[in-house]
Structure 1
């Protein structure tokens, strides 16, 4: 989503069907260099953070493998247990849902960057024009596939599908067309909180720091209160990852200091606690192994550490052009890979008896090709058109 001159901002990404086990996503970005003290830095349009694009596609592929080979429920699409078909891969893929944590850290980093110096109206328009076009197409494609092959996944009722187009299906208590779209609702609430408490008055170092501190305290108090409405607003389990990303962008822009690293450290500690408690002992038997708390800790640490490496400029060497393309495909790939991938697996492996490894490779490649088509034919033309239309409407409202 283009959210500023030469800056592309993030989006959300991945989770299992009708569950909240996985999620995200963030788009190609152009960084602002660090400046001495707290002076505002001037972004350099020629310096792309391609390493973030690489991290995004890595997170998306890990979630994809989780959906294809890391869950026992996918056996119905393979016609057999993925643990037996992919004995080595399935154990590692069980941790793929943690790619969502990386998505959220990147989202905090990029949202802070892309909103710097931008108005609230610009922030709103950039989010809407970035998220909705590919999302609408994914809803249509998945619904059509469910109608054609209801044996793989039954289509939702028309009234439920129509609510899904608003992206408000979860607070409305409506089933999701896309299993992964629960993370979009998480992202949307983050955008709303950040817009109301920071972007509204203008993004500054002080306002972001205060926001991070207050949100951390609110998350802890919400856990003590154990109130569903407070949990929904504060997002106590997901907040640490966004907060850590926000602080890491401040480190990138203004340089290191003890306060910012303290925020990152607290966010990491709280985030790993949530991830471990949520995934170490899953409520269902949908994974093949009891996931190790040490591996979960290592993956969460990688999520914070990798974005920290970008913030400190340690990954400037990862500047390959193909990463920009990969980053552009991440959001549409994230949206379509789960259900449409299951359809592809069912047809290729069970109908045409293609081997399990060729089926897995063909499905992943096919979803990447579909993501490229959505990016080229939908996102690139429709996103800017929506943004221009909203800008025109905003100008009319101001002049009326």
Structure 2
């Protein structure tokens, strides 16, 4: 989800000029935020929310399926799960922006500070709901799962998600671990990123075609081209255009469209009950890449509407809180208020709760937690001599 990243960026290479010697001591201006990307992430979050409320197969509206309660709206919101694909594209782009040139301690600190405060609150709040208040929704979940979920590494332990939407966080986490490994090996370079964007998605596609699904899933084959497409956008944004970079971006978009065209129709039939042709998803993936290109590589990147930063900040807590709490609210409010008022009110409650989490949990805790984590890791690395060992290994290569 990459729904969980900042969009503060370094200026593109084409716009960076060497300063005169007499001004060399002047601190560089902070790069502007990619405000429209924040707005795009917010729009993706809204689509995911509406997908889970009005299209996903559940009976909380008092009908057999959500689509039965929303026969017209669900024709559109059935595509809302494609917001996750957009999150992954943006994540590949922005994580490289935040990681490039940083050490391992600072990168880990930034991720922990960004991800965990709101996540811990969401896990505890949702865990309380599904274990104690609404146990029929969390059948089989207990304290063990709750505690394991707090680590965000519970899938590696073979334990269930407290909330099903957390599956995307495990996908994101594995991508972060890959970037961390490259940082520690001093391999987060233009050359390595280019090779990764060529090899990782193609290998995943080859494994899928060869019906080696276990290996393909290990490599996250269906998500690799989304992340790598974002990586190529970063390289173009930061270091300039080249035929190689644009070719690899196009290749990743094509592979992403292929996988989404395979999975999308199957999920639409299984989760919503609609027959949707593959070419719809091909066009959606093309549109998602085109949107990120327009908002990051054209003059639109200079748009600075402050309210978009606020909306972007809400995206992550909205994603964490919306699904199970929203369903619980729908089940209890719909019989009293009716479906239209209920939908409006539940969406408002979720976004209001997300604002409170962002304002009173994320904002005060994120930076101190990031700084404390970075200091601790730098101290530990110094005590163990890890930094020197890694640098020596890099020189030996």
TM-score computed with the length of structure 2 as normaliser? 0.87
* Structure 1 residue corresponding to 2:72, chosen from 73, 83, 88: 88
Return closer, same or farther for 1:27/1:396 CA change in 2, 3 Å cut-off.
closer
Q: What is the deviation of 1:392?
A: 3.0
Q: Does 1:360 align with 2:343?
A: yes
Q: What is the deviation of 1:216?
A: 2.6
**Partner-residue secondary structure (3-state), 1:156:** coil
User: 4+ residue runs of structure 1 moved beyond 6 angstroms?
Assistant: 37-43
Return closer, same or farther for 1:198/1:234 CA change in 2, 3 Å cut-off.
farther
1:132 equivalent in structure 2: 116
1:7 equivalent in structure 2: none
2:86 equivalent in structure 1: 102
1:215 equivalent in structure 2: 200
Asked whether the equivalents of residues 48 and 82 of structure 2 are also in contact (C-alpha less than 8 Å), the reply is yes
Return closer, same or farther for 1:261/1:51 CA change in 2, 3 Å cut-off.
same
Return closer, same or farther for 1:186/1:38 CA change in 2, 3 Å cut-off.
farther
- The CA distance in 2 between the partners of 1:34 and 1:388, in whole Å, is 27
- The CA distance in 2 between the partners of 1:233 and 1:43, in whole Å, is 42
2:141 equivalent in structure 1: 156
Return closer, same or farther for 1:384/1:160 CA change in 2, 3 Å cut-off.
same
The aligned length equals 374
- The CA distance in 1 between the partners of 2:379 and 2:179, in whole Å, is 26
Q: What is the deviation of 1:124?
A: 1.3
Asked whether the equivalents of residues 33 and 44 of structure 1 are also in contact (C-alpha less than 8 Å), the reply is no
Return closer, same or farther for 1:159/1:296 CA change in 2, 3 Å cut-off.
same
Q: Does 1:182 align with 2:160?
A: no
Q: Does 1:371 align with 2:354?
A: yes
- The CA distance in 2 between the partners of 1:47 and 1:331, in whole Å, is 21
Greater Rg by CA: 2
Asked whether the equivalents of residues 51 and 323 of structure 1 are also in contact (C-alpha less than 8 Å), the reply is yes
Q: Which residues in structure 2 correspond to 1:35-114 (within 5 Å)?
A: 35-36=13-14, 44-73=29-58, 76-80=59-63, 81-114=65-98
Q: What is the deviation of 1:85?
A: 2.6
Q: What is the deviation of 1:218?
A: 2.8
Return closer, same or farther for 1:152/1:266 CA change in 2, 3 Å cut-off.
same
TM-score computed with the length of structure 1 as normaliser? 0.87
Asked whether the equivalents of residues 53 and 327 of structure 2 are also in contact (C-alpha less than 8 Å), the reply is yes
Q: What is the deviation of 1:161?
A: 1.6
Return closer, same or farther for 1:299/1:40 CA change in 2, 3 Å cut-off.
farther
* More helix per residue: 2
1:4 equivalent in structure 2: none
Return closer, same or farther for 1:230/1:187 CA change in 2, 3 Å cut-off.
same
Q: What is the deviation of 1:304?
A: 0.7
RMSD of Structure 2 on Structure 1 (CA)? 2.5
1:16 equivalent in structure 2: none
Q: Which residues in structure 2 correspond to 1:289-328 (within 5 Å)?
A: 289-316=274-301, 318-328=303-313
2:242 equivalent in structure 1: 257
Q: What is the deviation of 1:148?
A: 1.6
* Stretch deviating more after TM superposition (276-285 or 123-132): 276-285
Structure 2: gaps (5+ residues): 20-26, 384-397
Q: What is the deviation of 1:71?
A: 1.6
